[in-house]
A and B are shown apart, each in its own frame.
Chain A
Amino acid sequence: MTARIGVVTFPGSLDDRDTQRAIRVAGAEPVALWHKDKDLKQVDAVVLCGGFSYGDYLRAGAIARFSPVMDTVIDQAKAGLPVLGICNGFQILTEAHLLPGGMLGNDHLHFICRDQKLRVENADTAWTTDYEAGQEIHIPLKNMDGRYVADQRTLDELEAEGRVAFRYVDFNPNGSLNDIAGITNEAGNVVGLMPHPEHAVESLIGTGRTDGLPFFTSILKKLVNA
């Protein structure tokens, strides 16, 4: 038996196929989910992938957050369904208020695409148990609106509760406060980050390493052992 992990496709999603492939490489079964369909097809977890859902009109993730599929994702995430938001998926999770804070344009006003070094700060979430806390990884980063912002109270709370899951190392690519690359909700089932682990699961492509694969093996182990 393996786990079934849903990947939502919105109009403008770019990385749905790569995400499905990463899930398959990890040994789980990817299930395609459609933005207009409330039905999650009884998946065990959901990934909101990268891209420019609904053209990023209004704000990145703002329109996707009100799509039919998100009604169900929001309800079930609150009930414990593991949800990972990558890049645009992270933006959607903040717009849906499943994660605190918000995402704004990079402080240098340019699109950025690079191999990015991150530190895994929290290895206890549903998506990070196959990492060691403090481990440094290289995965691709590519975005326009990657600047994480939140008010000071929220930042203090995230830091105090160990909910900064990933932090940029050596170089802050977008002006994110506290070098935040990704965060988790209190329960650890909802995680969002800007860089792209799904592009770093095979040594042939991406950063030439498989540093992103543990995201998908972590959730698989959690679901299969559950």
Chain B
Amino acid sequence: MARVVVDVMLKPEILDPQGQAVQRALPRLGFEGISDVRQGKRFELEVDGPVDEAALARINDLAESFLANTVIEDFTVRVEEVAEAAK
């Protein structure tokens, strides 16, 4: 079994008020030196069977049509190795 991770972020030009709210809270918490925060979404897909090119292509389609709205968001797809011992 393998895990595929899809990260979805608002496009850089789009205002992210949630990220801004987080960023503004940082000095209060004693975190200095963070000039910007943007908040996104992470999807972890547990894939049955091998993650071959065909499977990745299907996941890419899924991300493009559903997990992300590419009018306002960008996404990346990557395979994450799941260590045997961790299972």
**Interface set of A (CB-CB < 8 Å, partner B):** 58-59, 62, 66, 94-95, 97, 100-102, 104-109, 149-151, 175
Stretch in B49-57, B67-75, B76-84 with 4+ CB within 8 Å of A = B67-75
Nearest-CB residue, chain A, relative to B43: A58
Residue contact A109 to B17, C-beta cutoff 8 Å? yes
Partner pick for B66 among A66, A108, A175, CB 8 A cutoff: A66
CA distance A102 to B70 in the complex (A): 9
CA distance A94 to B66 in the complex (A): 13
Partner pick for B17 among A94, A95, A105, A150, CB 8 A cutoff: A105
Is B21 interfacial (CB 8 A cutoff)? yes
Given known contacts A62-B69, A102-B71, what 16 new A-B pairs fall within 8 Å (CB)?
Answer: A58-B66, A59-B69, A97-B71, A100-B71, A101-B71, A102-B69, A102-B72, A104-B72, A105-B17, A107-B15, A107-B17, A108-B17, A149-B14, A149-B15, A150-B71, A175-B17
Interface size class of B (residues with CB under 8 A): 10 to 19
Interface centre among B10, B13, B72 (most CB of A within 10 A): B72
CA distance A58 to B66 in the complex (A): 9
The interface residues of chain B lying within 8 Å CB-to-CB of A97 are 71
**Interface set of B (CB-CB < 8 Å, partner A):** 10, 13-15, 17-18, 21, 66-67, 69, 71-72
The interface residues of chain B lying within 8 Å CB-to-CB of A175 are 15, 17
Residue contact A109 to B18, C-beta cutoff 8 Å? yes
The interface residues of chain B lying within 8 Å CB-to-CB of A100 are 71
Q: Specify the main secondary structure of chain A where it touches its partner.
A: loop
21 A-B pairs with CB atoms under 8 Å apart are A58-B66, A58-B67, A62-B69, A94-B71, A97-B71, A101-B71, A102-B69, A102-B71, A104-B10, A104-B72, A105-B17, A105-B18, A106-B17, A109-B18, A109-B21, A149-B14, A149-B15, A150-B71, A151-B13, A175-B15, A175-B17
Interface centre among B13, B67, B69 (most CB of A within 10 A): B69
How far in angstroms is the closest Cβ of chain B from A174? 10
Interface centre among B17, B67, B71 (most CB of A within 10 A): B71
The interface residues of chain A lying within 8 Å CB-to-CB of B69 are 59, 62, 95, 102
The interface residues of chain B lying within 8 Å CB-to-CB of A102 are 69, 71-72
Residue contact B66 to A62, C-beta cutoff 8 Å? yes
The interface residues of chain A lying within 8 Å CB-to-CB of B17 are 105-109, 175
CA distance A189 to B17 in the complex (A): 33
How far in angstroms is the closest Cβ of chain B from A81? 23
Interface centre among B10, B13, B15, B21 (most CB of A within 10 A): B15
The interface residues of chain A lying within 8 Å CB-to-CB of B10 are 104
Residue contact B21 to A104, C-beta cutoff 8 Å? no
CA distance A100 to B71 in the complex (A): 8
How far in angstroms is the closest Cβ of chain B from A213? 32
The interface residues of chain B lying within 8 Å CB-to-CB of A151 are 13
